[in-house]
Structure formats: C-alpha cells, structure tokens
Structure 1
Amino acid sequence: MAEALLRRRLELAGLGTEVKVRSAGVLDTGRPAAWQAFDALAARGLSLEAHRSNRLTPQLMAATDLILGMAREHVRAAVVAAPEAWPRTYTLKELVRRGGAVGPRPRAQPLEEWLDRVGAGRRRGELAGDSPDDDIADPVGSDPEVFEALAEELDDLLAGLVRLVWGVT
C-alpha cells in the first residue's frame, strides 16, 4: 500500500521519474496484496493488481538511498542483514517524526547529509525496545475498515515524507 501511495504522491509532485520506489519485505515473495488492501487503494484510484511481494536483500539495500520499514521489526531485520544500512534505515513514522524536528532537506543538500542530521543521537538499541510509537500496525487479517484507516494514515505520513525529503507537497 505504501509503495502505491508514495508513487502517487511523487507523481503529483512532479518527481515520478526522478525518484524510484520499490517495495520489499522480510517474509514470503511472490504473494499478491491482501484483498482489503486492493479495495482500500481502489477507493483512492490506485491499483495493486501488479503487486507481488519481494524479499529485502543486502544487494537491494546497497543500491538504495533510503530504506523505510513499517515497523521496528522490519528495520531490525534490514540492519541485521546489512549493518551498513543503519544510517539510512528508519520506520516511516520515525523518519517523519525526526525529520520534522530537523526540518525539510534543502534541495542542494545530499540526502545522506540530511539523514545524518535526522539520525543524530539515534541508537540501534532503540530498535529492541517494546514501545510501538514508531510502528505502523500490521493490518493482515483485519476488517476492511482497518485497511481504510491504514491507507489514510500512510497517505498522511507519506505526504510528510515527500515534504521533508523532497521539499514539495
């Protein structure tokens, strides 16, 4: 869901060809999205018809400027697989929260430098805690209304992400 919503946000901002977005996870590969996700995004004019799950690999992470997980468990798995990815790996909520405190990235500033500012004082040990503040709840197995609410939450967070990272709304 986040991939499709982010692609649309970037296209609306005129960055659809400039920024590449790819979805990958820590579980099975080749699976379609849940039917509730299909419905939640169809209501927003988006299709998940072509979506199939992909596994997050160290090779993919090495070629990626920014890695976003929906929950700390995803960030933990990514950092265990590729420890060097830590400075550019966040949950979506954490990056929007920390980025909001630092302020939007100036267009001329390299993303890596902005992420260094955003990550100042950040500790890997925070990923092992049990606070769900930076996690987005997994809706799998939930009612369609939960997926609708998640689509709304993701879209709001992604609007903040696009504003902070690329300076557009």
Structure 2
Amino acid sequence: MTSRMPYGGSHSAPVRSPDRVPGQTEVLFVCHANQCRSPYAEAIAERLASGRPIRFHSGGLLSGGMPMPETGRRLGAALGYSFEEHRSRELDLGDVDGFDLILTAARDQAREIVAANPDLWPRVFTIKQFSRWLDDHRRPPRAIVGSWLDAAAADRDRRSLLGEDPDDDVADPLGMPESAWTTMVDELTAHLARIVDGLSPRRADQG
C-alpha cells in the first residue's frame, strides 16, 4: 500500500488505442482535462486490480501537458501514489476503438466520445453508471470484455447520457480544498472496487 508509482508519465503524447495483448482487458478513464479525476481513477484501479489481466489508461478532452494541481499531488503522496510526473494527455477521439471499455467521470465526456464514435456506444459509460450496470450483468467466463459489452450493453437507454446527474457524475475537485479531493477518492475507490471485481473476479486462492 505504500509503494509509489508515477501515473501519466512525463510526456503529453495523445492517448490512442493500445497495442492488444491476448487475454488482457484494456480500460480507458476519461475526464475533462486529465488533471484530476481520470488520473486518480487510473491509479486507484491499478492498485485494486494488482495481479489481474487488466490494463488501465487515462486521458482528457482538452490539450495536454498540464500537471495535476498541488492539492491532488499532496493527497496522492499521502495515499501512496505519485503524481509528480503526471502531465495531462489529450484523448485522440479518432483512435479509441481499441479499448474494451471507456469510463468517463461525467455524462458530458461520455456524450462527446459517443458523438464522435457512435459505434462505441455499448462500451462507453460513466464510472458510476457502469458500477451499477454490473449489478445486473455478469461477464461470462473467458469472454472478451469489449465483445461482451457490444452484445450485452447495446440496448441501453441513450437518454442516460443526457444532462448532468450527481448519481452518474464524479464531481471535479479542480480548484477545491483537499476535502473535495478526499471525497472524490473515496467515491472512485468504492465504485472501482466493484468494477474491477466485475471485470475480473478474484479467485479464491488470491484472498
């Protein structure tokens, strides 16, 4: 719990579809600027999924190159994450079809991704939406996550991305005091724990 790893790297190259690794699930987190919510989601998910065949990425909808605010970096250090080298990265909306699952911090980011890539609708949720959706949908053993979602999530109500809703959106802590960042971390951790287990249930011998 105390190991510290950098998230986001030291460059701001656009985030594009990853090179596929057989048996590995590729998950992308997206927020507005990739300065707060999505890098934290990536870091938290990586910790929760340690040892499981899931790889996480993060990006934003704005131009990249910006560091995480000091408040977020300071809290991250206290929690065992290092965001000192993080620089925001812009998502290449023309090259995201290689991800199995795209999870956004809020509905507005999901709308923008789906508007640019209508065929990706079954794979795009907000973090909170997907956490709830998994309550009623279990991934079949050995099913490729992207292919499973293409079939199982295609008939979702598209109105679920309209407007804003605190039940679906993780509040942006940018410019807010540390308490807002702590609330974000707690919220992300609760939902991502459910998501990680839904994507790759822990075996009995893993504890």
Question: Normalising by the residue count of structure 1, what TM-score does the alignment of the two structures yield?
Answer: 0.87
Say whether the 8 Å CA contact 1:107–1:167 is kept in structure 2.
no
Larger strand percent: 2
Structure 2: 5+ residue stretches without partners:
1-39
| Deviation readout 1:27-67 (Å, 9 max, x if unpaired) | 23111112221122212111112211111223441221111
| Deviation readout 1:104-131 (Å, 9 max, x if unpaired) | x233222135424652641223212343
Counterpart of 2:56 in 1: which secondary structure? coil
1:40-59 → structure 2 map (5 Å cutoff): 40-59=75-94
* Corresponding residue number in structure 1 for 2:47: 8
Task: Give the RMSD, CA atoms, in angstroms.
Answer: 1.9
Counterpart of 1:58 in 2: which secondary structure? coil
CA–CA distance in structure 1, aligned partners of residues 111 and 93 of structure 2: 13
Larger helix percent: 1
Corresponding residue to 2:144 among 95, 102, 110? 110
Cα distance 1:146–1:124, how it changes in 2: closer, same or farther (>3 A)? Answer: same
Question: Normalising by the residue count of structure 2, what TM-score does the alignment of the two structures yield?
Answer: 0.72
* Corresponding residue number in structure 2 for 1:134: 168
Query: 1:19 is matched by which residue type in structure 2?
Result: I
Say whether the 8 Å CA contact 1:69–1:90 is kept in structure 2.
yes
Give the deviation of 1:157 after TM superposition. Answer: 1.1
Say whether the 8 Å CA contact 2:106–2:169 is kept in structure 1.
yes
1:77 aligns with 2:112: yes
Say whether the 8 Å CA contact 2:68–2:86 is kept in structure 1.
yes
CA–CA distance in structure 1, aligned partners of residues 114 and 93 of structure 2: 9
* Corresponding residue number in structure 1 for 2:3: none
Say whether the 8 Å CA contact 1:69–1:91 is kept in structure 2.
yes
* Corresponding residue number in structure 1 for 2:134: 99
Say whether the 8 Å CA contact 1:102–1:117 is kept in structure 2.
no
Cα distance 1:60–1:48, how it changes in 2: closer, same or farther (>3 A)? Answer: farther
Counterpart of 1:62 in 2: which secondary structure? coil
CA–CA distance in structure 1, aligned partners of residues 151 and 135 of structure 2: 11
Give the deviation of 1:138 after TM superposition. Answer: 0.8
Matched residues, percent identical?
A: 35
Query: 1:62 is matched by which residue type in structure 2?
Result: D
Cα distance 1:51–1:107, how it changes in 2: closer, same or farther (>3 A)? Answer: farther
Structure 1: 5+ residue stretches without partners:
none
